Amino acid sequence: MLPSDSSGRQRSGRIYLPHEGEPRPVSLSLS
């Protein structure tokens, strides 16, 4: 699993990229 920090918040399997103007939900396959 990816670490939940300022570099990328993991919420319900969605990563919000900090460099994006708006939070873009990226669907990832989390075991």
* pLDDT, tens digit (0-9, with 9 covering 90-100), for 6-30: 555 555 556 655 665 555 566 555 5
Single out the residue of 5, 26, 7 nearest to residue 15, CA to CA.
Answer: 26
pLDDT at residue number 15: 60
The span from the CA of 19 to the CA of 1, in Å, is 21
pLDDT at residue number 31: 43
pLDDT at residue number 7: 52
